[in-house]
Each structure stands twice: as C-alpha cells, then as structure tokens.
Amino acid sequence: MKQFATITVIGRDKTGVIARVTNFLFEQKANIEALEEQVTRGQFSMTLQASWKSSELNSHSLRAGLENLARQLGMEIKVRLTEPDRRQKFAIMVTKEAHCFDALMAAKLKADAALVIGNHDDFAPRAKKFRLPFAHINWHDRAQAENRALQLIEEHEIDFIVLARFMKILSPNFVWRYKNKIINIHPSLLPSFPGPQAYRQAYEQGVKIVGVTAHFVSMRLDEGPIISQGAFHIRPGTSLKDIIARGQQIESAVLVKAVKLYLGKRLDVYWGVVKEV
C-alpha cells in the first residue's frame, strides 16, 4: 500500500530549486509521481506529488527536512499527506447569489463540502442550513483577505476550491497555490465577454446565442483552461432579465458538470487546454 504527499513550493525564482527539492525527496526514498512548475514575473511555483512504500515514509523526517530546505531557499514549502482513494474535501467561495451553491448542495458529488467562504455575512444562514462552517471575510484589503482564506483552507485540509459566483478577483499569490484546483463559473461563452457584466454585454451586442463557461482559474482574468460550457438561443424580444434568469439555470448545471468531471479524474490540462481522458 503506497502513501502519497502533495508538496507545494512558492517563492522568488532562483537556480536549483527543483533539483534541491527532488534530491531531498530521493534521499527520503520517495518516488516522484507528477511535477508541475512555472515562473511568472519572477515568481516560482511548483506542485509535486510523491509516493512511498508504506514502510519507507518517515513523515517527521519529511516535514522537518522540508522546513529546513524552505529556510535555506527562502521559500514557502508545504506538504500534505494524502490518500489516493479517500473522498476529497472542497471549499465553496460565494458572494451573494446562491443558485450555484444550492446546485452543488443538491448534486450527488463524490466529495465533501467542508468550508464556505463569503465576502458578505448574509450568506451565513444558508451555509448553516447545510451544517457547513462559514467564514465571512471582508475583501476590502485583498492581500489580507486572501491570507485569511488560505489559512482557513489549509486548516480544513481542502483539496480543491469552487467559486460559486464569487465576485472577487483572486491574485496570482492565491492561484499559484491551487493550480488547476480552482473551478469558476463565468456567465459567457469565453473568450467572449470576460468581466462582471457578461450578460449585459451579450444583450447589448445582440448576440443570438448566450452561454456560460466553467473553467480553471489562472493568473489572467477569465482566461483559464475551459472545462465545460452550455448555451441557449435568444429569441426576438427577450429581455435582459430573462437572459439572466435562463443563464443562471445553465450556470448551475455547467458548474456541477465541471466539478463531476474534475472528481472523475477525466481532465488533463495540456498547454493551457483541458482534455478529457
């Protein structure tokens, strides 16, 4: 029986980081299962999955060694021991609209909602209805808010995050830590109409087909790898209010579909494009 760990490394880019980390893991008798790294504007980030034979993993030595390596490199290194067959836990981030949240609660997902984070406290009763812990985080200071959110996500051992119409932009500092693990729903057929007023833009442009897009969040606003989409035709005389109401129904279905695809391990991101495998 193997034991697994996910390790994240984040900090200013410098030579030899990958070699230092992987050499240490080799000394710990680890096998590297997967490794993703990138550098954006001088910021280095890496997510690494490692495995051990159950008798060869010394978790105390692993954690102590990575903490020492983090100090030497001047970087943030975090490790989380995982079990490949256990149910994943996810956080839901919300603002005011509840339709996507309700759809996630009604869906039979092979994962457990474990935390709700909202930038308005009036969502608390809805989370309480489903016996979920709710954290109200004021988002006026984004850096401070994101640090608090990341702290809570780590405390609850969250595996992935769903943005259920969360109307705030996440910084690269946040996204780096959960690459291809943050799923967002956007009210347009991306790449058309990015931004918060997508339905209004579609209505004003007179498009004949309106849709929604579920995608992984990336460093660029509304440009992450697309997971799934849905659309509907606009009939003559359809009002903006009707478009929004119909769009919200599609949003819920497409977001749930995207989460199910993610949980089914049927997605692979290759050069910024999602492939079903």
Tell me what percent of the residues of the chain surpass a pLDDT of 70: 94
From 13, 85, 222, 242, the catalytic residue: 222
pLDDT, mean of residues 228-234:
90
Question: 209 pLDDT exceeds 70?
Answer: yes
Q: What are phi and psi of 268, to 5 degrees?
A: -135, 130
Question: 177 pLDDT exceeds 80?
Answer: yes
Q: What are phi and psi of 131, to 5 degrees?
A: 55, 40
Identify whether 222 is a catalytic site residue: yes
pLDDT, mean of residues 10-27:
93
187 to each of 6, 165, 242, how far by Cα in Å? 33, 9, 14
Length of the chain: 277
Evaluate the CA torsion angle 151, 71, 60, 17 in order and state its sign.
positive
Query: What confidence score (pLDDT) does residue 207 get?
Result: 82
Tell me what percent of the residues of the chain surpass a pLDDT of 90: 52
Q: Mean of the per-residue pLDDT values for the chain?
A: 88
For residue 231, what are the contacts with CB-CB under 8 A and spacing of at least 6? 189, 209, 210, 211, 212, 250
Q: What is the three-class DSSP state of 10?
A: strand
pLDDT, mean of residues 157-184:
90
Q: State pLDDT tens for residues 83-123.
A: 666 788 999 999 999 999 999 999 999 999 999 999 999 99
Q: State pLDDT tens for residues 33-58.
A: 888 888 877 888 888 889 998 788 88
Question: 179 pLDDT exceeds 50?
Answer: yes
For residue 214, what are the contacts with CB-CB under 8 A and spacing of at least 6? 183, 184, 185, 186, 226, 227, 228, 229, 254, 255, 257, 258
pLDDT, mean of residues 209-218:
89
Query: What confidence score (pLDDT) does residue 100 get?
Result: 96
Question: 137 pLDDT exceeds 80?
Answer: yes
Question: 267 pLDDT exceeds 80?
Answer: no
Query: What confidence score (pLDDT) does residue 270 get?
Result: 46
Catalogue all structural domains in the chain, each as residue range(s) with its CATH number.
2-82 (3.30.70.260), 88-276 (3.40.50.170)
Per-residue pLDDT band for 175 (boundaries 50, 70, 90) equals confident
Evaluate the CA torsion angle 144, 181, 248, 199 in order and state its sign.
positive
Question: 274 pLDDT exceeds 60?
Answer: no
Contact predicate 274/227, CB 8 Å: yes
Q: State pLDDT tens for residues 61-90.
A: 999 999 999 999 999 998 888 766 678 899
Counting beta carbons within 10 angstroms of the beta carbon of residue 246, is it exposed (0 to 12), middle (13 to 18) or buried (19 or more)?
middle
Query: What confidence score (pLDDT) does residue 271 get?
Result: 42
